[in-house]
Chain A
Amino acid sequence: MSRSKTLIMLILSFFCFAGNLLVTQKFPSYFPKPVYALDSASDDQILLGRALFYDPILSYDNTISCASCHSPYNAFAHTDHDLSHGINDEIGTRNAPALFNLAWQKNLMWDGASNHLDVQALAPIAHPGEMNESIGNIIEKLRLKYGYATLFSNAYGDNEITSKRILKALTAFQLTLISANAKYDRVQKGEEQFTAQEFSGYSLFKTHCNTCHSEPLFTNHSFANNGLAIDATLRDYGRWKVTQRPQDSLLFKVPSLRNLSYTFPYMHDGRFKKLNDVLAHYAAGIIRSETLAPELQQGIKLSSNEKADIIAFLLTLNDQEFIFNPDTKYPLGIGQSKKE
């Protein structure tokens, strides 16, 4: 065995070892029951999924990985990009959503077009403006790439590479992205206390926002029309395209409000850069239409003090531990060397 090969094996075995240390993440008792089983994948399957998530091999010209638009330091969103850019700098039509607490989301994407986390990855992989690749071609490329035979073997008992194994591994990794230790959570657990302003914001939040952005995940996972004007260039009617039911026109998924400091800009097309812009929209910018959410018929009128209080509360939903969790970051040394 050559020296470099030995080194790679050493690095690999380190990560396999590290993989075993990835204890199945627990979630707080006040979280609801997850939609996806959190303990069904092995550490090695999670590790394989993590390698795939960060590997641009999933795109046609090997330039775009999942992490290109779902950046780990931005709660797996694409900070500063209203619309994300994929292969050949093609611009997409929607804001890349943050990835966390996916175990509680049955339907994925802003319009719920994906009905299961396993199959969600097929959409960006095949999209001509995102990764422009086929799963069949990915399988061929992975077969030739050093390191993956071992990763697949460890994960599944043999080194056969199939679409099901790839997709299940991506799911396994993404299910470990649990954000549950923001200040809000520590307050819930009695470890910390809100400031007076945060507490005031929390009360206002419960009055005005909690119906859709329901605690503790800060979304009720429904689809709603929150009164945004139609973007004249994108002409995006949201969930209507999926269900083709008129009552779903202009409905988009209610996003979680956790980690807002990392996930700007906001809304399905990233039209608002600041939380103040969002609150201003709810106060005075709502466009009335047939499918407008009943909760927003009158808008949400707030004084500037109240807005400041709500924002103070929303900032308690930032989860630094999640953002800096090394177990979800780029897996150094895995699948990065060409076959010798």
Chain B
Amino acid sequence: MFTVILAFWVMLPLFGVAQRTLSILPVYHSNILSLDSVYTNSTGDTIRIETCKFYISNAILTESLSRKGTHLDDYLLIDVFEPRTWLLGKVDTATFYTELSFNLGIDSVTNNSGALDGALDPSLGMYWTWQSGYINAKLEGISKASTARNNQFQFHLGGYLSPYNALQKVKLNLTNKADIVLLWDIAPFFDKVDIHNNNHTMSPSANAVELSKLLASFFSIQ
């Protein structure tokens, strides 16, 4: 009996049942983001990141030949300081996928759907209370450059109504059948955003859309 199971297990890849993982890897340049680290940007400002969470939704892997898409879990809340949330899904090793697409944030239909649960539970701190809508991404911390109280910066980015729809679509090409590691390097954020003048956004706005675009541009396939 044991040998049968062992043989089956060894042959799994041949049946195409073996799985590879799709996960996210949040970094600051080449270092994995950590709560305890103090980072320095290109102009010499120091940065400590205290909260960094965002929604990945509607992730689809597209097959090379058929263009058929495989959907992963619909809504995932990534907390960069909780590695267990980095795993986006598992896909079989046999299929060659050429493209990964997903949304950074929550779409407008879901934003209009009342009380939801799971990753979309409004008690997770990713839902605005004074105004309906999910916070697509939350980034908080301390930077010497910030003129706000205690040198804080606080970005709660969201909004699903035109013209301030903050949802970002991301598309990346895949080139092999290995585990997919979605690198997310936030370092350029602190080089490009003038934290001195732009240190908090707590509601849907043009700034929230711009900053969301920026966060969405940091993804790449490792």
**Interface set of A (CB-CB < 8 Å, partner B):** 113-119, 122-123, 125-127, 134-136, 139, 162-164, 167-168, 171, 242-244
| Known contacts A115-B112, A167-B115; A139/B161 CB under 8 A | no
Query: Which one, A115, A119, A171, A243, contacts B122 given CB within 8 A?
Result: A119
The answer to whether A123 and B123 have CB atoms under 8 Å apart is no
B124-149 interface mask toward A, CB cutoff 8 Å, 1 = contact, 0 = none? 00010111110000000000000000
Number of B residues with CB within 8 Å of any CB on chain A:
20
| Known contacts A135-B123, A163-B122, A244-B204; A116/B112 CB under 8 A | yes
Within 8 A of A (CB), among B60-112: 111-112
Q: Give 19 CB contacts A-B under 8 Å.
A: A113-B130, A113-B131, A113-B132, A115-B133, A116-B113, A117-B114, A119-B127, A119-B132, A123-B129, A123-B131, A127-B129, A135-B123, A136-B123, A139-B123, A163-B122, A164-B116, A168-B114, A244-B204, A244-B205
Q: Which of chain B's residues have a CB closer than 8 A to the CB of A164? A: 115-117, 121
B219 in the interface (beta carbon within 8 A) = no
Q: Which of chain B's residues have a CB closer than 8 A to the CB of A167? A: 114-115, 122
- Write the nearest CB–CB distance from B116 to chain A, whole angstroms: 6
A135 to B116, CA, bound (A): 13
**Interface set of B (CB-CB < 8 Å, partner A):** 111-117, 121-123, 127, 129-133, 161, 164, 204-205
Q: Which of chain A's residues have a CB closer than 8 A to the CB of B112? A: 115-116
Say whether chain A's binding surface is mostly helix, strand, loop, or mixed.
Answer: helix
A16 to B133, CA, bound (A): 35
| Known contacts A134-B123, A135-B122; A163/B115 CB under 8 A | yes
| Known contacts A115-B112, A168-B115; A163/B123 CB under 8 A | yes
The answer to whether B115 and A115 have CB atoms under 8 Å apart is no
| Known contacts A164-B116, A244-B204; A115/B132 CB under 8 A | yes
Nearest-neighbor residue (CB-CB) of B114 within chain A: A118
The answer to whether A122 and B122 have CB atoms under 8 Å apart is yes
The answer to whether B115 and A119 have CB atoms under 8 Å apart is yes
The answer to whether A126 and B121 have CB atoms under 8 Å apart is no
The answer to whether A162 and B132 have CB atoms under 8 Å apart is no
The answer to whether B121 and A163 have CB atoms under 8 Å apart is yes
Q: Which of chain B's residues have a CB closer than 8 A to the CB of A114? A: 131-132
Q: Which of chain A's residues have a CB closer than 8 A to the CB of B117? A: 162-164
- Write the nearest CB–CB distance from A162 to chain B, whole angstroms: 6
Nearest-neighbor residue (CB-CB) of A114 within chain B: B132
A113 to B115, CA, bound (A): 15
A242 to B204, CA, bound (A): 9
Other A-B pairs beyond A119-B122, A162-B117, 11, CB < 8 Å: A115-B112, A116-B114, A119-B132, A122-B129, A123-B129, A125-B129, A134-B123, A135-B122, A139-B123, A168-B114, A171-B115
The answer to whether B130 and A119 have CB atoms under 8 Å apart is no
A163 to B118, CA, bound (A): 10
A114 to B133, CA, bound (A): 8
A171 to B114, CA, bound (A): 10
| Known contacts A119-B127, A122-B127; A162/B121 CB under 8 A | yes
A117 to B130, CA, bound (A): 13
Q: Which of chain A's residues have a CB closer than 8 A to the CB of B164? A: 244
A243 to B133, CA, bound (A): 12
- Write the nearest CB–CB distance from B162 to chain A, whole angstroms: 9
A136 to B126, CA, bound (A): 13
The answer to whether B132 and A126 have CB atoms under 8 Å apart is no
Residue with the highest number of chain A CB atoms closer than 10 Å, among B115, B164, B205 = B115
- Write the nearest CB–CB distance from B118 to chain A, whole angstroms: 9
Nearest-neighbor residue (CB-CB) of A36 within chain B: B114
Nearest-neighbor residue (CB-CB) of B113 within chain A: A116
A167 to B129, CA, bound (A): 13
A213 to B175, CA, bound (A): 61
A117 to B112, CA, bound (A): 10
Nearest-neighbor residue (CB-CB) of B160 within chain A: A115
